[in-house]
Structure 1
Amino acid sequence: MKWMNCLISSDVTILDTVRRLDEVSGRTLLVVDPRRKLLGTVTDGDVRRGLLSGHRLEDSVAQVMNPTPKTANNEDSRENILTMMHTLKVRQIPLVDSEGIVVGVETIEELERGPSTRDNWVVLMAGGLGTRLHPLTQSTPKPLLRVGNKPVLEIILESYIKHGFHRFYLAVNYKRKMVMEHFGDGSRWGCEIRYIEEDQRMGTAGALGLIPEPPASPLMVMNGDLLTSVNFESLLEYHQENGADATIGVREYEFEVPFGVVNMDDHQVRGIDEKPVNKFFVNAGIYVLEPSVLALLPQGTYHDMTTLLTDLIAAERKVVAFPIREYWLDIGQPDDFVKANADFVNGLE
């Protein structure tokens, strides 16, 4: 079951809710606001009790929903969530982040079965010079810098494996032998690892042009210097449900102007905003690409991902955004590296 099919807004009528319950075979529906923040849940039993108490089919689902549902945090382990579900005697539970945003749904059947195996190839970009992290990267390539007790690229690899992925390409350049010696063929993690060896810097998209065999299914791509708890399985499902040619993970970024901003019409002052906060969605360095997209890449030349996505948009191919509300950190500066280690020790929240 695709969990996003279980989302409804609070202004949906009880009649439409009944229809939606039929569509999802009677499973629990999640009532959310426009930001996907969980407002409540509704089951067939909730609807029936509501009708018995006098509510009409034309009333909104908010009148009959459970406004205080049990939830699990998306950072919880599968074992803890399964234990919680057995304790609560529920077969389905919403996963929410620290802000109460729904990021998935777990069912007891899926947890007891374990993660499904994904045959999609995952490309992890591990060839950067890491110049901004000098002197840390003068003797160690950035992907092998340790966060907590293991290299950051190993944390990324294990996160994908946790979500059922087992086939990887590592795009390597700077100090490639160190990376290749550490990861080998992947057998230590029970996965398959191959290498894209760049003799010159190719850019994120250019490196994809060196993949020897075109993939048969959507390709996952991620920068090798990110620390995140995003659910990669949900990202892939989102890409497929939207029928996208490319999906880009995006992260909301806030920037506070440290001054009062004067709004003017010509020379006439219309207002003053004191230290306004501007919000943007920024590229989070995580992508899903359809195999057909790779045919657009020029061979043997530098090509960054921004250029590829811009070309797709210009060609009217479908490019969609996947909002990342889970923990996410780009380890680009020394301060970021310090923060990554502190966050890893305290749990990625």
Structure 2
Amino acid sequence: MKALFLAGGLGTRLRPLTEHLPKPMALVGNRPWLEHLLLHYKAQGVDEFVIAVKHYRELIETLLGDGSKYGVRIDYSVETELLGTAGAIKNAEKLLADRFIVVNADIIHQVDLASALRFHDEHGGAATICLTEVDDPSHYGVVDQAGNGKIVRFVEKPKKEEAPTNRINAGIYIMERRALDHIPAGRPVSIEKETFPLLIENGSGVYGHPIGGYWMDMGTKVRYRQLHWDLLDRRFPLAIGGKDSDDNGIWIGDNVRVGQGVLFVPPVMIGDDVTIGDRSIIGPYAVVGNGTRIGSHVRLSQSILWERCKIRTGAQLNECIFGTGMQVGPHILHEAVCNRTLEVHRR
């Protein structure tokens, strides 16, 4: 089985964090989400991958390479212009198999791939759309299904009380190669708005399969923060690096230097090679990236720091998200999202 990861977008709603970074490269628990995603699908038997890239593709290629360090094979499909979801699939056609998986690489999820593949085998249609259930479907495209799971129509952002179901497109598809015959080449094409409706209309067979498990579109700062709190609370059962030897919700990486009188208020995740100064209070809900330096008397709560940040003595940070290499302090900051050194004065 071969999987195609759609990783060409920048994620404008996560700026400035992804200002110079493909959105799937955003860190989740101190590791790029794209790497987590690759390992998740490898664990379910996928050993060949195609990654559709455009913006800052060199960052993705530098991280993943040809896949050999993960025991898989990776090819790259390069877009010279953004081609949309279906256009990116068509652009990668020569690298795909007779049956393949398509994954929107910026969607946080865990899927039981074997179950979805069994369902796809049974219905014999051209495509299976993996579905997730949400409390309020009014912000999404909702699917209307027949009793056998066949999708008969899409309802875009219906009122909550008018939605036919609460099932929405999870951004994961199993497709037969013949579906590519219905995607025009060389122009942007939306799989959601053009290709799937066409396949439904012409009788090719589009079916929906609920995946269960965790699902999150991390496309906003609020959801990105909530994703990490779900991770720390273990509602999202992604593997966390570091040791939690007492099972107390405090994960500590390798080569961490902790000063005198430091208080950890769980849940807290500390990466590798981190230094924390005397009498700092870290947590609750704090994720500290690899190589970060935190001064003394720092108060850090409900915040996420990427790699190699420097938080100076006396800083107080609450509900902040800082990108790689940020330098802060001594400041009192609330709800700041930054990707470059701050030049503000203490309040």
Instruction: Report the TM range for the smaller structure's normalisation.
Output: 0.5 to 0.7
Tell me by how many angstroms 1:303 deviates: 0.7
Tell me by how many angstroms 1:276 deviates: 6.6
CA RMSD of aligned residues (A): 2.0
2:178: which partner in 1?
292
Tell me by how many angstroms 1:324 deviates: 2.1
1:52: which partner in 2?
none
Structure 2: tracts of 5 or more residues without a match: 139-159, 238-347
1:135: which partner in 2?
16
- Aligned mates of 1:145, 1:345 — CA distance in 2: 17
SS of the counterpart of 2:135? strand
2:222: which partner in 1?
335
2:290: which partner in 1?
none
Tell me by how many angstroms 1:144 deviates: 1.1
Tell me by how many angstroms 1:302 deviates: 0.5
Residues 340/246 of structure 1: CA separation in 2 closer, same or farther (3 Å cut): same
SS of the counterpart of 1:122? strand
Matched, 1:310 2:310: no
2:28: which partner in 1?
147
Residues 133/214 of structure 1: CA separation in 2 closer, same or farther (3 Å cut): closer
Amino acid of the structure 1 residue aligned with 2:214 = Y
- Aligned mates of 1:256, 1:309 — CA distance in 2: 19
Q: Comparing both structures, which one devotes a greater share of its residues to helix? A: 1
Tell me by how many angstroms 1:284 deviates: 0.8
1:283: which partner in 2?
169
SS of the counterpart of 2:200? helix
2:58: which partner in 1?
177
Structure 1: tracts of 5 or more residues without a match: 1-119, 258-274
- Aligned mates of 1:142, 1:256 — CA distance in 2: 24
Greater relative contact order (Cα < 8 A, sep 6+): 1
Matched pairs, number: 213
- Aligned mates of 2:21, 2:59 — CA distance in 1: 8
Q: Is the 8 A contact 2:112 2:211 kept in 1?
A: no
- Aligned mates of 1:248, 1:276 — CA distance in 2: 24
2:131: which partner in 1?
250
Identity %: 35
1:195: which partner in 2?
76
Amino acid of the structure 1 residue aligned with 2:166 = F
- TM-score w.r.t. structure 2 length? 0.58
SS of the counterpart of 2:76? strand
- TM-score w.r.t. structure 1 length? 0.58
Tell me by how many angstroms 1:237 deviates: 1.9
- Aligned mates of 1:127, 1:208 — CA distance in 2: 11
Tell me by how many angstroms 1:139 deviates: 2.5
Amino acid of the structure 2 residue aligned with 1:131 = T
Q: Is the 8 A contact 1:254 1:277 kept in 2?
A: no
Q: Out of 312, 319, 323, which is 2:210 matched to?
A: 323
**Residues 18-57 of structure 1: pairs in structure 2 closer than 5 A:** none
- Aligned mates of 2:27, 2:97 — CA distance in 1: 34
Residues 325/256 of structure 1: CA separation in 2 closer, same or farther (3 Å cut): closer
